[in-house]
Chain A
Amino acid sequence: MRNVPTLLRRELGAYFASILGYIVLMFFLIVMGVTFAVVVEYLNRGPTQLTAMKIMFQMFWLPSLVVIPMITMRLFAEEKRAGTVEMLMTAPVTEAEVVTAKWLGAFVLYTLMWGLTGFYVLILQKFSGGAALDLGPILAGYVGVLLIGQFLIAIGLLTSSLTKNQVAAALMSFAATFLLLIVVNWLGFIFQGGVAGEIVRSISAFEHMEDFSRGLVDVRPLVLYISGTALVLFVTMRIVESRKWR
């Protein structure tokens, strides 16, 4: 894994050497900024049980659906299209290093994006009229957003390794994200109670975010997403290797 820092630096550089990184960042900030403005306006209308950041965290799926396919689509697809994968894989690096660095690069960018929403926390603090914000749920919310994000990034990386076509990679990862977030959430309305309902609840990202944004960090989603990522990255590694046995 000693080549990971070198590869990671290249991956991060690639986002900002092209216009892509800026577009994604701009898109994210516009969506989140508008959401924040709406949330603040809504909370100003009268007393409610909700807090601003809780609503923000529950909107996590909106940028995820678009932003994650955008930052993962090129990772392998572009290397395959341009042929640079041959340069990369004939250098003394392993598949595991390359997959890890690419996943980490997208995750760092994603973390950076969400990190910028920290300004909203500062703004809320400034205008909270002296009352201290409850930081626990906010931190837990960030844990949730990053946890779910890193898993969806792994899936985006997997779809990117399947094709040379960035658009196809983005569509596949969009479809997968849509299924995992939105469709599972809908299933929650159909299966209420019983074993099926229990299963749907335990894999529903919306349910997880509900918990996290209340300040509840449960071990089960941690295990679910981290082991999910490990599995998806492993499969990705085998796909990158598959040029060797196909």
Chain B
Amino acid sequence: MDSMIKVEGLTKRYAGVTALHDVSFTVKRGEIVGFLGPNGAGKSTTMRILTGFIPASAGRVEVAGMDVFEDSLAVRRHIGYMPENNPLYEDMRVIEYLRFRARLKDVRRAERKERIDDCMEMTGITDVRRRVIGQLSKGYRQRVGLADALLSDPDLLILDEPTIGLDPVQIRQVRQLIKDLGKRHTILISTHILPEVEMTCNRVLIIHRGKILASDAPENLMKTLSAGAPVVVEVRAPVDAATVVVQALPGVVSVTAEAGSDGFVRLVAHASGEADVREAIYRAVVAERWDLRELSRGRTSLEDVFVQVTRDEDEAEEDRRDQRQRLR
């Protein structure tokens, strides 16, 4: 059995609102999957259903091969969950809180102390163990939540916005921690911060308006979209000659040129399909004995992917709405 999470046809309706619309995806054992979407896309709702906090309106959800609604208690034993905003009992001391949670999660008495110490060590909160949670900084509280999620050494970690509200140093620490944890646990993290996914995840699920729009490795998503990205060339050459030479290369669809004041020309070449025309351009420039100052292809970031994918969906949605209105 190599799928940790299996979601099929998951739909969640709240009074009057459909938060999730026929969502299906799987997460394999050992994967770190990033759940990416704007606020209100359905990330937290999905996570709450996975952890058994709320049920689905329709569809099947399995964690570690068990139905989350039928075997809710058993499923919860396999999951370490850190909810959005990381709610904690603020009146408790860190160590008291972790002891309480360890008991609730059936960590064996003999292993409890060691396990708690390990989790505090991993998340770097050993030195605040005696402090009251309500008095801790946001970064420490976040790490207490993370330590709590790790207590039962769960197969699956579900972390809802684990780096929200942290400063850049803390964010880096938490991301590193997640990466390290990924060696032993299956992890599903949600975020609306794109670099986070690029840095930590093997796979990205883009969710928008309750639908999964894309699911792939971050590199692949970027590759697919950067295929059509324009190539930028700067050469010392007459504008017309440069345009003609580049335009003539196979695969190049269009070229725009702009003469600089220092004798260099800046060309932007669009290629067709997945063709990479950089090598051809280089050879042409060398053959013409022009000076070359820059040759690069715009790299699409996940941010662009995200914006593009969600915009396509929004446009499709608008079209549908227009059509419906026209029909009326």
Contact = CB atoms under 8 A, between A and B. Distances in A.
Interface stretch (A48-56, A91-99, A125-133, A183-191): A91-99
A3 interface: yes
Interface stretch (A34-42, A78-86, A214-222): A78-86
Contacts, number: 63
Interface in B95-118: 96, 100-101, 103-106
A92 B51 contact: no
A87 B88 contact: yes
A87 B83 CA distance: 7
Given A13-B92, A243-B54, A91 B87 contact: no
Given A3-B104, A7-B104, A90 B51 contact: yes
A18 B91 contact: yes
A14 B91 contact: yes
Interface string A216-246: 0000000000000000000000000001111
A10 B148 CA distance: 16
Contacts of A94: 73
B150 to A, nearest CB: 14
B55 interface: yes
Nearest to B74: A92
Nearest to A9: B100
Contacts of B53: 86, 89-90, 243
Contacts of A243: 53-54
Where chain B touches its partner, the secondary structure class is: loop
A31 interface: no
B76 A10 contact: no
Where chain A touches its partner, the secondary structure class is: helix
A6 B48 contact: no
Interface in A136-160: none
Interface residues of A, number: 24
A86 B76 contact: no
B208 to A, nearest CB: 24
Contact of B85 (A3, A17, A83, A245): A83
Nearest to A7: B104
Nearest to B81: A90
Contacts of A91: 76, 101, 104-105
B87 A87 contact: yes
Nearest to B132: A17
A92 B89 CA distance: 17
A10 B102 CA distance: 13
A90 B92 contact: no
A83 B87 contact: yes
A14 B53 CA distance: 24
Nearest to B78: A92
Given A7-B104, A87-B83, A90-B52, A17 B92 contact: yes
A130 B48 CA distance: 67
Interface in B44-83: 48, 51-55, 73-74, 76-77, 79, 81, 83
A-B interface, 5 closest residue pairs, ranked by CB to CB distance from nearest = A83-B87, A17-B91, A6-B103, A90-B51, A84-B87
7 contacts: A7-B104, A83-B84, A83-B85, A86-B83, A91-B76, A92-B105, A244-B55
Interface of A: 3, 6-7, 9-10, 13-14, 17-18, 82-84, 86-87, 89-94, 243-246
Given A9-B100, A92-B77, 6 more contacts: A10-B100, A14-B91, A17-B92, A83-B85, A87-B88, A91-B76
